[in-house]
Amino acid sequence: MLSKKQHLVYAIVGALVVLSTIALVLSLVQIEDVTLPPTVKYGMVFDAGSSHTSLFVYEWDSDKENDTGVVSQTLSCDVQGHGISSYANDPLKAGDSLRECLDKALKVVPAAKQRDVPAYLGATAGMRLLREQNGSAADQILTEVAKTMQEYPVAFKGARILTGEEEGAYGWITINYLLESFTKYSPKAHTWLRPEAANIFGALDLGGASTQISFMPEGSEINWNETSKLTLYGYNYSIYTQSYLCYGQNEMLKRLAKELIAESSSSMRVAHPCYPKGYNETISLSSFCTSPCTNRSDPRLTLSDRNVTLEGRGNASQCLAAVKKLFNFSACGQRQDCSFDGFYQPPLRGQFTAFSAFYYNFNFLNLTEGQSLATVRETIEHFCTRSWEDLSSSYPEENPERLPKYCANANYILTLLLDAYKFNETSWNNIYFQMKTGSADAGWTLGYMLNLTNMIPAEAPAHFKGHVPSLWVAAIAFIILTFALGFVALLLLLWM
């Protein structure tokens, strides 16, 4: 009969055998790491333009693609009223104007994430002009805007005035992102890949107070000091971008009116070749003092409070000639690497997307379907000859303040693209007029957000930590088992 010591020894040996076997089995079982889905991040950007303000809300997964978030547009909201620069005499209203869109934005962002949402306001040419004319008023508007945004449960990052070059570069980023020039999702590979033959587009932006052209130049004689360097999705890009203040369509119309009045020897009634026959507009000369683009002294014109009536003539050729006088093409001399006003521009390269006012004007004229330059010219010329009575009855739903301006705007676009930027009969076919790709708007805000995500560290995916299968774990288990059994065997020999 076994003694108590022998029972104890056998029990210990049995327990060790069982435990060692369990350790051995566990070491050989493969348990993979379980990766949790990436969290969704949000960001919001106000585009405070010269004529209006819009809010865009974006979202992207926290695990980024080559250090740049894959961003999609969640919401766009147009702020009621004019641009924030119009509140120079009442800055408080600039901040209050944003509230309705901010309230809408918080409805699409989960409450738990709102305080982590980076929120920005970028002001463009309208505020650049106001800063030139009244710096303190511009600063006060930005202060009031910031106060309003800081009242909301978001991570307010600042309200500032963008340079024209930043506006152009971010617009270029937006266009190429939307057209999948930087990265494209491969369902087969289940990942984002850079297109093998990436087709990089140029960007043409026309706002109310400025216009921008941006593209990737090519050639050995390029002045690379005039380019900007960007890094997106792990690749470097060098782009040329130029912004022209006072060459947005609203400022152009003011400058055109002033030029026509000055040429008429300050008459009380002035013929306007771009306005339709039968349309009259009365303006005060003092209105030219409200913008740095038109308040410059002109010996032919004395700015005062008197009113002048502009009478439409509906003459396409005279309209085009009048618009061309707004550019200083002689400043370039015989240089081919020059656009106008003496500004450097390398040779055009590749295809371009024209958005904002480029698109809106040509879309109204049904010229966004790739029509030839000859067709575009013919359509514009015919439109300019239509009377105000004809236009107002044909387009009853069109804004009556905008309708008489399409002739001038269209001829301005032709001059800007052909004479200034140097597109021709052949390269005209490389321009695509569009405002949306998918559900996202063209413009600088998406590019700004994409560039912003380059500065946000990639968030490491959360894991459930499992056992890592390896031979050394099995070896340790065997060693433990061997020593344990040897030790027990030694005890048996001593006790029995």
Using CB atoms within 10 A of its CB, is residue 328 exposed (0-12), middle (13-18) or buried (19+)?
A: exposed
Task: Note the CATH number of domain 40-163+437-453.
Answer: 3.30.420.40
Q: What is the pLDDT of residue 457?
A: 52
Q: What is the pLDDT of residue 477?
A: 54
For the ranges 152-156, 167-171, 486-490, the lowest mean pLDDT is seen at: 486-490
Compute the average pLDDT of residues 376-402: 97
Q: What is the pLDDT of residue 460?
A: 41
pLDDT at 316 > cutoff 70: yes
The CA radius of gyration of the chain, in Å to the nearest whole number, is: 33
Q: Which of 62-76, 143-157, 173-187, 259-273 shows the highest mean pLDDT?
A: 143-157
Of 103 and 25, the structure prediction assigns the larger pLDDT to: 103
C-alpha–C-alpha distance, residues 412 and 322, integer Å: 10
Give the residue extent of every domain in the chain.
4-31+466-495, 40-163+437-453, 249-429
pLDDT at 1 > cutoff 60: no
Active site residue 167: yes
Question: How far lies 239's CA from each of 130, 205, 428, 468, in Å?
Answer: 28, 15, 21, 48
C-alpha–C-alpha distance, residues 236 and 43, integer Å: 24
pTM of the model: 0.83
At residue 297 the predicted structure's pLDDT band, cuts being 50, 70 and 90, is confident
Compute the average pLDDT of residues 239-266: 94
What percentage of the chain reaches a pLDDT higher than 70?
Answer: 81
Q: Which of 65, 167, 251, 259 is catalytic?
A: 167
Count of CB atoms situated within 10 Å of the CB of 174: 27
Compute the average pLDDT of residues 103-109: 97
For the ranges 36-45, 100-109, 404-413, the lowest mean pLDDT is seen at: 36-45
pLDDT at 31 > cutoff 50: no
Of 417 and 335, the structure prediction assigns the larger pLDDT to: 417
Of 226 and 148, the structure prediction assigns the larger pLDDT to: 148
Q: What is the pLDDT of residue 437?
A: 82
pLDDT at 187 > cutoff 90: no
Three-class secondary structure assignment of 299-360: CCECCCCCEEEEEECCCHHHHHHHHHCCCCHHHHCCCCCECCCCCECCCCCCCEEEEEHHHH
At residue 39 the predicted structure's pLDDT band, cuts being 50, 70 and 90, is confident
Q: What are phi and psi of 360, to 5 degrees?
A: -60, -45
- Residue 57: in which H helix or E strand, if any? strand 53-61
Of 11 and 410, the structure prediction assigns the larger pLDDT to: 410
The mean pLDDT value of the chain amounts to 86
Count of CB atoms situated within 10 Å of the CB of 325: 14
Of 481 and 381, the structure prediction assigns the larger pLDDT to: 381
Compute the average pLDDT of residues 237-252: 96
C-alpha–C-alpha distance, residues 443 and 284, integer Å: 33
Three-class secondary structure assignment of the chain: CCCHHHHHHHHHHHHHHHHHHHHHHHHHCCCCCEECCCCEEEEEEEEECCCCEEEEEEEEECCCECCECCCEEEEEEECCCCCHHHHCCCHHHHHHCCHHHHHHHHHHCCHHHHHHCEEEEEECHHHHHHHHHCHHHHHHHHHHHHHHHHCCCCEEEEEEECCHHHHHHHHHHHHHHHCCCCCEEECCCCEEECCCCCCCCEEEEECCCEEEEEECCCCCCCCHHHEEEEEECCEEEEEEEEEEECCCHHHHHHHHHHHHHHHCCCCCEEEECCCCCCCEEEEEHHHHHHCCCCCCCECCECCCCCEEEEEECCCHHHHHHHHHCCCCHHHHCCCCCECCCCCECCCCCCCEEEEEHHHHHHHHCCCCCCCCHHHHHHHHHHHHCCCHHHHHHHCCCCCCCCHHHHHHHHHHHHHHHHHHCCCCCCHHHHEEECCEECCEECCHHHHHHHHHHCCCCCCCCCEECCCCCCHHHHHHHHHHHHHHHHHHHHHHHHHC
Q: What is the pLDDT of residue 466?
A: 36
CATH architecture, domain defined by 249-429 = 2-Layer Sandwich (3.30)
Q: Give 429's DSSP letter.
A: G
SS3 54: strand
At residue 251 the predicted structure's pLDDT band, cuts being 50, 70 and 90, is very high
Compute the average pLDDT of residues 192-219: 88
C-alpha–C-alpha distance, residues 89 and 383, integer Å: 39
Count of CB atoms situated within 10 Å of the CB of 349: 17
pLDDT tens, position by position, 457-480 = 555 444 333 333 444 444 555 556
Q: What is the pLDDT of residue 30?
A: 47
Q: For residue 274, give the nearest of 252, 293, 305 by alpha carbon.
A: 252
pLDDT at 339 > cutoff 90: yes
Count of CB atoms situated within 10 Å of the CB of 336: 9
Compute the average pLDDT of residues 169-173: 95
Of 195 and 212, the structure prediction assigns the larger pLDDT to: 212
For the ranges 49-63, 125-139, 217-231, 427-441, the lowest mean pLDDT is seen at: 217-231
Compute the average pLDDT of residues 275-287: 95
Q: What is the pLDDT of residue 128?
A: 97
Q: What is the pLDDT of residue 296?
A: 83
Q: Which residues of 146-167 are buried (b: 16+ CB within 10 A; e: fewer)?
A: bebbeebebebbebbbbebbbb
What percentage of the chain reaches a pLDDT higher than 90?
Answer: 65
Q: Which residues pair with residue 60 across a beta bridge?
A: 41
Q: Is 249-429 in the same CATH topology as 40-163+437-453?
A: yes
